[in-house]
Amino acid sequence: MDTLATSDDGDTIRRQPYIQQTWEMCRSFLSALKFIIYDAGRDPKYLDNHLLSYLSQDFIQSVMAMPLLINEGVHNICRREMRFILEMSVKTCYIQQKQYNSDVLTKLNEFRFILNSTNISIQKQLNLTLIPDSNQTGFFEEVGRFYGESSNYVHLSQSQISERIALMQQGRTSGKESPEEIETLNAFIARILACSLVLLFHSVPSYVAGDFLVEANGESHDWFFAGSKLIAMIDEHFDYKHERQHDLPQIRSKRLKRVSF
């Protein structure tokens, strides 16, 4: 009994840095979401016309739950929430691009079928002006892959049960996950949240992304998602800005060094 307790205590200590990382990425996502809402909200019609004026609450609830769920070992719920976030991001971007200036009630009626469907193939019709054309197919494939992976945890499946059996045979019940399991889950969440940010930045005028990512002195915004290759592509899109021209080679070098996922 003492040996098991010591092992568990050791795992508890080793899990903490990864749980802190979960908090960091979730705070970073929410800071970007808040900026998008306020910056796009300068348009007096934003509250009436943009889906985010209401759906932001769902993004906040799902993202704020992540660190709490991971800390308690409730990992499959995290994966289900990631699917919801990805679906919500795709549909928000698609509908806003199709009818940016119509009011929310009109959008709900016009796009009822799309909103009620679980299919996100509409993503291939999105206009992703902030990332290079050569990378757009890869982005769509990544979104599709993550949506498929997270969908495996929405309905009961043979693979889900097999995974649970294997974990329990290792003594990995809820709250006793290894630090490595949390690290893997964090990587999964980080990449999905990065995809979500790309979609949200494309659901509002392009100046919003530029205002957020480019500091007054031209430097790139230093935050968790500066490590995302997707966000780095969007950041690179704004290299034309005047405030970057005096030190563009160094800005590009720093951006490249930060990319880690």
Closest by alpha carbon to 7, among 169, 172, 163? Answer: 172
CA angle 142, 146, 147 (to 5 degrees): 115
Closest by alpha carbon to 82, among 94, 70, 95, 100? Answer: 70
pTM of the model: 0.90
Q: Which pLDDT tens digit goes with each residue over 16-35?
A: 999 999 999 999 999 999 99
Show me where the domains of the chain are located: 2-208
Q: Which pLDDT tens digit goes with each residue over 112-128?
A: 999 999 999 999 999 99
